[in-house]
Structures are given as C-alpha cells and as structure tokens.
Amino acid sequence: MGAAAALASLHFTEPHPEALARLDRAQRLAALDFCHHAGLALLVRDVLPEATARDAANNLLRLRTLEETYRELAALPVEFVALKGITQCELFGIRPEDRAQSDIDLYCPRATVEVARDALVAAGYLPIAGLEAFPTDHLPALLRPHSWRWRGDFFDPEMPLAIELHFQFWNPGLESLPAEGVDEFWTRRLRRRGLTVLSPPDAVAYSALHLLKHVLHGDTRPFHVYELASFLHRHAGDTDFWAGWRTLHSASLRRLQTVSFLLAESWFGCRLAPDVLAEAERLPRATRVWFQTFATSPAVQRFHPNKDELWLHLSLLDSKLDKLRVARRRLIPTNLPPPARATATASRRTVYAAWLWTRLRHHTISLGTTLTSALRWWRITSRDRQGAQPARHRS
C-alpha cells in the first residue's frame, strides 16, 4: 500500500498526493522506507515535509560535495562525458536538491578509460578490489580511503562518493539486443557549464538504456523511471526534439528506448510524443502484451520477488538460441552481479552482506513465482498467437 501510494502521489496526469498523506503511521513508515530505497524520498517532501526535512537538509550538504567533486574531475588530464546524476537535472526537469546521488558516472572511450583510472588513482582514489571479472559496463568503482560506516542514512553528508568509469553505453553481447549507433554518442558530446555531457537526444537515450538494463536484470530503481517520465511529460509536444531524436537514432536504438518510455508511462502516467507512440506500435506483439500484464512487476520486486522481466526480455529476442541463453542466465545465475550499492560505502563487507542476502532471498523466493508467471505468460501469448488482436498501446 505504501509503495502504491508513493507512486500515485507522483503521477503526472492524475496525481493523488492524498493517497500518501492519508496513510496511518505504520503505512507511512513503510512508504518512506520504499521511497528511500527507490530514490523518491525528496520528491514527496511536499506531501510529507516533516518526515523528509532532515533528508532535505542533508542532501543540500551532499549537493555541495557533488559540485566540488565535479569541479575537481573537470581538471583530469583526459576527456570524459558526465553521465546521469545532477548534470542532467535541468534537461529532465528534476531539481538537483531533490535528487539522491551516491556516485558519479563518467564515460571514457576504451582507449582512454584506463588513463582516466590512473589519473584518479594518482589523485588519491582506490579501485574496489574483487569486481574485475563481473560483466559490467564500467571499471571497478573508485573511492578515496575513509573510515565511514553505513548507518542507515541514505543522505548522510559524510557518505563518500564513488567514481565509476564507463567504457560502453550498452552491452549488446550480454543482453543479446543490438543498439546500433550508441558509439556515436561520444562524437556528439557537448560542453555545458564546465563539463562535457551527452547531447540531449543521446542523454535521453542513455537514460533509457540504463533503465532498461536494470529492468532486464531485475534491479529497477523507481527514481530512474520517474526521471525519464519527467522528461517525456515535459517534452511530449516538442516536435523539434523528437524529429532530431528520430533522425539521429537507429531503429534498433529507438526500439530499446521505447520499452523504457512505456514503462515510465505505465508507472507515472506521463504524456508520450506521437513519435514515441508510433515506435510503440512497432514493438513485437508479445512486448505490448507484457505491458498489459506485467508492467508493474518491477515496482513491487522488493516486496514480492519475481522475474517477470524475463518475459519482457524474451519478447524482444528473435533467436531461439538467444532466448535460451538469456533464460538460463536469469533463471540459473552462475555468479552474482557486482554490489552496486556497496561500492559507495567504506563498510562494504557489511553492506555487501546485506545486499547479498537480499539478492539470494530474491532468487530463492522468485523461483516459485517465476513458474507461476511463466504458465500465465505462456497462456496469454498462446491465446494471442491463436488469433487475438495485437495489443495496442493506449495514447
């Protein structure tokens, strides 16, 4: 109930802040816990001002640290692109003081990413050991040495910032999904307020790809969905932007972005541009059926472990071999992904242990629910193949 109330309060076309305000004390605490883990706490502070006042004050202190760190990074002897975070708040319509950020993401081409790492090491940062073999899009995160310990405060001003150096925008080999043209993001980079950033169409594309990656891996952060919804809602009528978006991006890249756009619309009711709606109609029939059936499944994974995102992934694949490979990896994981949240802490053994327990619990419980949803998915898609009309996305 708390999670549903929080999402309802942030709906763009039919917001219901009263759903959150009217919760009893226990439900409100549960809603706040969800918002803290989801990155939404400061977005609901107008509804729950007293409960979020301390978080808001602490985040202003963290914001100063972030700005100082970005200025320091700008002096690195290698060019990079600042990804995500407060650097794109203006574009996406999010106030920096409302955004929780525990790390800084930078992109460098493969040819220079290790040069950037060495420069950070020379500046006093140290890479977190033991994560080199995991299939990620970035080098092991780097932190300055410190004695900070996790105390349950997501906005602790003393929490150190991790630096993640990305060397690719998308991993087609891991996901078995092509996104032609992503390497061209680097060639279209822009200089804004002392930092190099992606061009607006490419920044939106990267945010959509980043969200999709986490959705397909069963690790969706609701703030990223809201952030994308905020952009889509504000730019639904921006015909010039979408004309450029359509021209710059390949069909395969637009296709993957559209999946994330539909998730944003499903959760937060954002308006969608005609170009996005047209792309939605080109998605596989099974993908559109998934949104009718399982669109909210990623939102409740913390409370109701599931792997319904697997059916979304399979719906986007054409090759039976790719489907088998993805299903095997998701249903029988041979290794655990790197602890992204733990990389931003000094007490990483404690944080990683808690994170590891959460992931093991998720995989164990979701086995049963996955069998149930698999049967449900098979029945739905079987009926659809036998003559049901293609599921059409509502405009």
How sure is the predictor about 384, in pLDDT bands with cuts at 50, 70 and 90? confident
Task: State the burial class of residue 232 (Cβ atoms within 10 Å of its Cβ: 0-12, 13-18, 19+).
Answer: buried
Domain range for 288 = 199-332
Residue 261 lies in a domain: yes
Residue 372, pLDDT score = 86
Residue 234 lies in a domain: yes
The stretch 127-139 carries a mean pLDDT of: 74
Residues in CB range of 90: below 8 A, 6 or more apart: none
Residue 340, pLDDT score = 45
**310 closest CA partner among 388, 222, 377, 211:** 377
Is residue 252 predicted with pLDDT exceeding 50? yes
Tokens in use for 348?
């990483």
Least confident among 9-13, 120-124, 317-321, 350-354: 350-354
Spatial separation of the C-alpha atoms in residues 366 and 300, rounded to whole Å: 12
Pairing of strands 103-107, 81-83: antiparallel
The total number of structural domains that make up the chain: 1
How sure is the predictor about 6, in pLDDT bands with cuts at 50, 70 and 90? very high
SS3 label, residue 182: helix
DSSP states of 376-391 as a string? Answer: HHHHHHHHHHTTPPPP
The stretch 278-302 carries a mean pLDDT of: 96
CA 374 to centroid of chain Cα atoms: 25
Residue 114 lies in a domain: no
In whole angstroms, how far apart are CA 359 and each of 67, 180, 301, 352? 33, 32, 11, 10
Least confident among 31-40, 218-227, 320-329, 369-378: 369-378
> How many residues are there in the chain?
395
Is residue 363 predicted with pLDDT exceeding 70? no
Tokens in use for 211?
């969200």
Residue 231 lies in a domain: yes
Residue 375 lies in a domain: no
Average model confidence (pLDDT) across the chain: 91
The stretch 284-301 carries a mean pLDDT of: 95
Tokens in use for 161?
């910032």
Residue 370, pLDDT score = 85
Is residue 395 predicted with pLDDT exceeding 60? no
pTM for the predicted model, two decimal places: 0.90
How sure is the predictor about 116, in pLDDT bands with cuts at 50, 70 and 90? very high
Least confident among 189-203, 222-236, 281-295, 323-337: 323-337
Q: What helix, strand, coil percent values describe the chain, rounded to 5?
A: 60, 5, 35
How sure is the predictor about 212, in pLDDT bands with cuts at 50, 70 and 90? very high
Is residue 162 predicted with pLDDT exceeding 80? yes
Q: Give the model confidence (pLDDT) of 49-61 as tens digits.
A: 999 999 999 999 9
The stretch 17-35 carries a mean pLDDT of: 95
Residue 341, pLDDT score = 43
Residue 134, pLDDT score = 58
Contact 54, 41 (CB under 8 A): no
Spatial separation of the C-alpha atoms in residues 190 and 339, rounded to whole Å: 31
Tokens in use for 245?
């978006």
Residue 165, pLDDT score = 98
Residue 189 lies in a domain: no
The stretch 312-332 carries a mean pLDDT of: 95
The stretch 309-326 carries a mean pLDDT of: 97
**142 closest CA partner among 131, 129, 126, 160:** 126
Residue 347, pLDDT score = 52
Contact 346, 125 (CB under 8 A): no
Residue 214 lies in a domain: yes
Neighbour-count burial for 112-122, b at 16+ CB within 10 Å, e otherwise: bbeebbebbee
CA 340 to centroid of chain Cα atoms: 12
More confident residue, 184 or 131: 184
Is residue 376 predicted with pLDDT exceeding 70? yes
Residue 93 lies in a domain: no
Is residue 337 predicted with pLDDT exceeding 80? no
Tokens in use for 192?
């804004």
Residue 244, pLDDT score = 98
Place of tokens 């995989």: 363
